[in-house]
Amino acid sequence: MQQTEADRNDAMPTRRGLLRGAAACALTAAAAGPDAAQAALRPIPFGSAAEIDAFRSDARYREALKRYCDVIVPMNDLKWQGLRHDRPRFDFSGADEIVAFAQANRKALRGHTLLWGDALPPWAKEMTTRAEAERELVNHIEIVVDRYKGRIATWDVVNEVIRYEPSPDTPLRDTIWQRLLGPEHIEIAFRTAARVDPKARLVLNDFLFEEAAPAGAARRKVALDIFRRLRDKGIPVHGLGIQAHLYGEKDLDLDGLQRFLRDLDALGLDVEITELDVIDWKLPADPVLRDKLAAARVSSFLEAVVAAKRPKAIVTWGLTDRYSWVPDTFPRQDSARARPLPLDTDYRPKPMMAVLERFRRGTA
């Protein structure tokens, strides 16, 4: 099977060798049948969010980003809290460092995020009028997207706008943006980003689409409603970022997720896995068993996703268990250290990394 134009466009400069390798594998796979050949020809770029303190202080962390990633996401430095702690002055210091590193090492970049109800500086939470909120939001997006135009190819334009447990009357999260601008805050953000960088891929990023509890289905429906509304209004939007902070202990609704992916495909939308990790607070303490369970969870999740719709990228929320948000938000009852990511605290690849490498090579 031939690579499509879209597949070629996906390929990062650093992945040319990998793609050549995948093509060689495809010759072997072709003998095994069309499905195997297709899988072998379809590597998916892999990446990670980069946390600035670790990035600055830990050379091994930077080496791991170079070695394992095709895509890098500044974890916190493009958030309002990172850029706008001083209201009149944008602070691009952290974001610029990570962007320069990604460029120097020929990595693609995702921008996270232009609008979120969290990670706001105090002054932004104290805005009081619709006019002020709209002026600040538009100005922010204009300045940030313009600065990285041509360098950041994909933006999480809005992050976590869907209510945790949405109802038909209250589909959206109660944030300063929703309070002052109503549902239109989503449209304003996408419209502005598209105007400033018409070539950027614009994504809505959110979580718990794989949840088996009723909230999962409700959240999927709200996402589809948002996309349809944007489309009806002619506002550019290119895809969904599926965060995929996978709970180790909960059932996943993989059938529901696959139906959702097909619905997104029918709307002409792409998907990306944007914040993958395994919340292992309820998994057994034994590290070998825990790593095995986490890898199995990631594997079954990604296999289900890829079977329904090939994601443009697979990005984990960090690379090493040394630095992760998971133990702060989901502390274990015992004293065992959290193991949510593909490398251990000593940068040794865990079984999860082997799973991710299969998708990265296109041999999954």
The Cα 314–Cα 46 span in angstroms is 5
Taking the complex as a whole, how short is the minimal distance between the CB of residue 62 and ligand 9MR, in angstroms?
18
Contacting ligand 9MR (CB under 6 A), which of 70, 77, 211, 275? 275
243 binds ligand 9MR (CB under 6 A): yes
Give residues 14-53 in contact with ligand 9MR (rule: CB under 6 A): none
- Our CB check for ligand 9MR shows the closer of 43 and 111 to be 111
- Our CB check for ligand 9MR shows the closer of 79 and 238 to be 79
* 88 three-class SS: coil
> 230 with 187: CB under 8 angstroms?
yes
- Our CB check for ligand 9MR shows the closer of 75 and 102 to be 75
Taking the complex as a whole, how short is the minimal distance between the CB of residue 241 and ligand 9MR, in angstroms?
10
CA dihedral 33, 37, 40, 41 (to 10 degrees): -170
DSSP 345: T
Taking the complex as a whole, how short is the minimal distance between the CB of residue 324 and ligand 9MR, in angstroms?
8
Q: Minimal CA–CA distance to 310: which of 351, 355, 357, 269?
A: 269
Taking the complex as a whole, how short is the minimal distance between the CB of residue 170 and ligand 9MR, in angstroms?
21
- 158 contacts: CB under 8 Å, gap ≥ 6: 113, 114, 115, 116, 185, 186, 189, 190, 204, 205
191 binds ligand 9MR (CB under 6 A): no
- Our CB check for ligand 9MR shows the closer of 275 and 344 to be 275
- Our CB check for ligand 9MR shows the closer of 76 and 316 to be 76
Cβ neighbours around 335 below 10 Å, total = 6
Taking the complex as a whole, how short is the minimal distance between the CB of residue 159 and ligand 9MR, in angstroms?
6
- Our CB check for ligand 9MR shows the closer of 25 and 338 to be 338
CB burial class (10 A; 0-12, 13-18, 19+) of residue 148? buried
Taking the complex as a whole, how short is the minimal distance between the CB of residue 325 and ligand 9MR, in angstroms?
4
Give residues 154-173 in contact with ligand 9MR (rule: CB under 6 A): 159
Give residues 64-83 in contact with ligand 9MR (rule: CB under 6 A): 75-76, 79
Alpha helix segments (H runs only) across the chain: 5-10, 16-32, 34-40, 52-57, 59-68, 80-83, 93-104, 122-125, 130-147, 176-181, 184-196, 214-232, 254-266, 287-308, 326-329, 351-361
Q: Which two tokens stand for residue 222?
A: 């709200």
Give residues 300-329 in contact with ligand 9MR (rule: CB under 6 A): 325
Residue whose tokens read 């709307």: 267
Give residues 112-141 in contact with ligand 9MR (rule: CB under 6 A): 118-119
* # residues near ligand 9MR by CB under 6 A: 9
Residue whose tokens read 């869907």: 162
- Our CB check for ligand 9MR shows the closer of 205 and 299 to be 205
Q: Which residues form the interface with ligand 9MR (CB under 6 A)? A: 75-76, 79, 118-119, 159, 243, 275, 325
